[in-house]
Structure 1
């Protein structure tokens, strides 16, 4: 590679190249280096790199070890950096002079204690640092003025979900799952609008500055997508994830208190996961206003009370779970809620199926498999059975008293 005269872009991704990343890459006007998804290993030594023109560096999906070399801070024109899914360790150098738009460090073993931004994060549109060992609180996220995707899951962040999060008006995807966050959930999170805008001026600025081959993409991050868990699976969103996906994942933390009713104001959200926390109290009735939601997971909490009937309005709901709570009353059988199996409602002792007559009576024996509400819940069926019994009784009496054969039978008895 040192002998190649490449003037603009170098794409060697998706092969089986081995060995180390070239140590001496100097001169030229190379704007893109894409070596992701190969078999590269060894340390990432950029001490002799002289790439002042570099805008895109993608080394994701290799076996690179060691620390992130401070030389990376000299790439002041770098707008996209993806070194995810490697074996990098140590802290992240403080590169406050860089104006990155897309940063992906996920899937490594990095361990910085983040109390201040290690990049000039006011320019970031997407930040993915999932599945590392990052620690500290979340107060620093208030500087992410232009962020659209904020993915911090699978780390060791602690403290409360800061209300400063609500000041980030452009957020589309928020993943704070599998951390050590505690305290109550700020009600202002319900102010997120989550409505995509293809005419976003920030994206246009990024598109005009990136190489021509990347410009046709709605999402400037055209080399490798960002991931988000929804509907129980991990999905990778590529070219248009900013407008096709919106969601909040706060699962597997230590959050407690009641779920703020204001969250129901997020009418354009598509995925909400609050599972594996310690939330108490009722499911907010306002959740019926989340018109576009496709995945709602409230399982493994301490929620109580009935399932609000307003949830039957959620026509786009494809995945739903309130399992392992303390809910009671009837399971609505209309709308999308009627299409989910009992696995969505497991381990709620006082929660019962609803009958065809929209009636439900709690079981006298919680261990019994057949609920009383299923046996006697339909008043019409009950009336028909009672009338049939009465008619059969009087018909038998009349037959016994007035029919000759019936009379002879009675005398014999």
Structure 2
């Protein structure tokens, strides 16, 4: 490639290339455009790249580059655009970055750059993106002189100091500003005259709605989340972007009151994690995402909310809402994808009104007072991924028909009044939970054997050369709302945990606190992607299957409070990630496996098993004593050391010195044939003497 010395334009982006960036690219002195983005290039950027003085566009984003950017204060005099985002680059920002006379765009986001941002000398800059690095110190004052600047993103660094917002007032072209997630403090008592359309000030130590917002008539997106704002949204906020505001995030503050929403075109409204009381406000009909979780809203949910026909994500969880769930939610089937009513006081039954074409992917009613059976109309929600109905009073047999939902990954029915067997009577051809990853039926009244048919159908937990998911967490999202992750509550390693995000590779089965009986099926060993398995507090008997040793990803295993017998399979000691293990209150016996992970488990893992012995329980295991000297193995494999000391004892009959000598020889050289013969002869003589004495005694007894 380096021989093409007349080359001016080179685009190899998204070509699945790997290895280092070739040094020979520095020979292409006529090059004006170089794009290597979206590959798997590694190593450092070669110093030879500084030879490319004609370069105008340099893009190597989305690779695995390391080290620092080559530096020379006079480098790249013609560079217009620099994009090295999404790499592993580190060190300080190069000196030429501040002085390049033609530079308009800098994108070094998603790297590991550190140090201070120095003063910019070039006045041509239009876009600066340095978010998600390790930059520190104050903002350079020269930013206020970059009159062509349209976008500045410095979020998620460790920048510090107090910023007077007026420093941006002289930038007539500034549209986008993101200072979130630093250690900055923003102050201003004046109204701003700049024409910002997107402003992100999350975690900027704000204690009130800043006054400079009053002048932002064209604002489209505003993020004031994770601050210290108290009280209610002020009246003058109605004028901020009243015709243009589509995104407002004031979550994680201390707001106490919301009267109404004046914004006509609002699409995303996030009021979650505040202290807001009162009845649930009804958002504008244009709302797409409405998040009010973790507040103190009370009263019933008005059916008027169903007039918001564009509603796609609705999260009312963790409030004090009561009454029945509006039947009309079924009418939102064509738009609603995410419905979370968790941790409220809803009662009655689940609405049986989900119509065909239902688009729900997450339906969460956990922690309410719902009763009655499940509604089969849920099957109309063909794209359902998460169904969480735990911690209610639902009284029904197991809904086998849910197994036909083709995308169901999480099923939580824990802590209800569900009962009956999990036996499957339908034809074998029927699909059953083939995508399931989290299966929680704990704390019910289920009985009968463990569901072997289901376990065999859990294809997503079986590693069949499984490829990683394109998204690391389960959730929904798009360009308006970003990514909204699903959450779930689980018992992990014996403790309840609320997972804010569900990792797509998180595989859990919890069938504890039921009345299951019979043996643990061997087929459970096929689920080799399983992270957690809890079968505790049932009536299971038989042994622990050795096939559980195949679950090489297992992190916690709880089989406590059953009637299991037999020994603990030694193969369990080879599970590399097992960090929580509980088999207490069973009828197990024998020696506890030793070494590796088993050295980390305490006595509480084994309590209530009187037959177990060995570390860490106090009961020791009986050690088998060596066989007597005269019981020789056919292959002559007895321990040389034990044999030698026996000979020393024999020496007391032949003379101490000779005996010690014989013992030493045997210890050093093994069992020479002559010595074996000698010992055998001695034993034979003793046997004959005893035999003669016995004969004489028997004759005397007869007389």
What TM-score range do you get, normalising by the shorter chain? 0.7 to 0.9
Q: Does 1:228 align with 2:228?
A: no
- Displacement, 1:159? 1.2
Q: Does 1:13 align with 2:240?
A: no
CA distance in 2, matches of 1:378, 1:152: 57
Residues 115, 136 of structure 1: 8 Å contact kept: no
Residue 302 of structure 1, aligned match among 543, 557, 563 = 563
- Given the two structures, how large is their TM-score scaled by the length of structure 2? 0.49
Counterpart in 1 of 2:392?
132
Counterpart in 2 of 1:92?
350
Q: Does 1:66 align with 2:326?
A: no
Counterpart in 2 of 1:78?
336
- Displacement, 1:240? 4.7
Q: Does 1:212 align with 2:482?
A: no
Residues 542, 565 of structure 2: 8 Å contact kept: yes
Q: Does 1:177 align with 2:435?
A: no
Counterpart in 2 of 1:110?
370
1:12-411 maps to which residues of 2 (within 5 A)?
12-22=271-281, 24-25=282-283, 27=285, 29-47=286-304, 49-76=306-333, 77-97=335-355, 98-114=358-374, 116-118=376-378, 120-138=380-398, 139-163=400-424, 167-188=432-453, 189-193=455-459, 194=461, 197-199=467-469, 207=476, 210-215=477-482, 217=483, 221-222=484-485, 225-243=487-505, 245-353=506-614, 370-371=619-620, 373=622
1:234-289, Cα deviation, whole Å (9 max, x unpaired): 2333445222x111000000000111001011111010000000001011011110
Residues 383, 406 of structure 2: 8 Å contact kept: yes
- Displacement, 1:26? 5.2
DSSP-derived class of the 1:338 partner: helix
CA distance in 2, matches of 1:12, 1:55: 16
- Displacement, 1:62? 0.5
CA distance in 2, matches of 1:133, 1:294: 31
Residues 556, 580 of structure 2: 8 Å contact kept: yes
- Displacement, 1:353? 1.2
CA distance in 1, matches of 2:553, 2:618: 35
5+ residue gaps, structure 2, are 1-259, 628-637, 657-703
DSSP-derived class of the 2:293 partner: coil
- Given the two structures, how large is their TM-score scaled by the length of structure 1? 0.81
Residues 225, 239 of structure 1: 8 Å contact kept: yes
- Displacement, 1:186? 2.4
CA distance in 2, matches of 1:295, 1:166: 29
Counterpart in 1 of 2:244?
none
CA distance in 2, matches of 1:170, 1:238: 21
CA distance in 1, matches of 2:581, 2:510: 14
DSSP-derived class of the 1:373 partner: coil
CA distance in 1, matches of 2:618, 2:436: 46
Counterpart in 2 of 1:362?
none
CA distance in 1, matches of 2:315, 2:488: 13
1:303-325, Cα deviation, whole Å (9 max, x unpaired): 11111111112111000011111
5+ residue gaps, structure 1, are 356-367, 399-413
DSSP-derived class of the 2:446 partner: strand
Change (3 A) 1:20 1:306: same
DSSP-derived class of the 1:159 partner: strand
Change (3 A) 1:161 1:377: farther
Residues 13, 35 of structure 1: 8 Å contact kept: yes
Residues 317, 344 of structure 2: 8 Å contact kept: yes
CA distance in 2, matches of 1:214, 1:60: 18
1:61-94, Cα deviation, whole Å (9 max, x unpaired): 1000111011222223000000100111111111
CA distance in 2, matches of 1:377, 1:93: 71
CA distance in 2, matches of 1:308, 1:40: 53
- Displacement, 1:354? 6.1
- Displacement, 1:136? 0.9
Counterpart in 2 of 1:405?
none
CA RMSD of aligned residues (A): 3.3
Counterpart in 2 of 1:410?
none
Change (3 A) 1:44 1:289: same
Residues 342, 366 of structure 2: 8 Å contact kept: yes
Change (3 A) 1:50 1:378: farther
Residues 544, 568 of structure 2: 8 Å contact kept: yes
